């Protein structure tokens, strides 16, 4: 795929206004806990 095409597609993406943001640097168990907590499960 043409790298310029990919770049232009990424530039057009809008940031979501309501998104769950989790730091990927956390330990897997902490990530799971935060996701479960956010969704109430």
Domain residues for the domain of 24 are 17-41
CA distance 11 to 33: 32
Give the total number of structural domains in the chain: 1
Concatenating the DSSP letter of every residue in 1-41 gives --HHHHHHHHHHPPPPSS-----TTS-HHHHHHHHHHHHT-
Instruction: Say if 32 falls within a structural domain.
Output: yes
Instruction: Say if 10 falls within a structural domain.
Output: no
Instruction: Say if 37 falls within a structural domain.
Output: yes
- Kindly give, in sequence order, each residue whose CB lies less than 8 Å from that of residue 20, ignoring residues fewer than 6 positions away: 35, 38
**What's the pTM?**
0.59
Residue with tokens 């806990």: 33
Instruction: Say if 25 falls within a structural domain.
Output: yes
Q: Six-digit token pair at 9? A: 């597609």
Instruction: Say if 4 falls within a structural domain.
Output: no
How confident is the prediction along the chain (41 residues), in pLDDT tens digits per residue? 677 888 888 888 888 888 999 999 999 999 999 999 999 99
Instruction: Say if 35 falls within a structural domain.
Output: yes
């Amino acid at each position: 795929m043409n790298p310029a095409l990919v770049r232009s597609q990424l530039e057009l993406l809008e940031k979501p206004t309501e998104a769950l943001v989790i730091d990927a640097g956390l330990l897997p168990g902490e990530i799971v806990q935060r996701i479960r907590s956010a969704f109430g499960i």
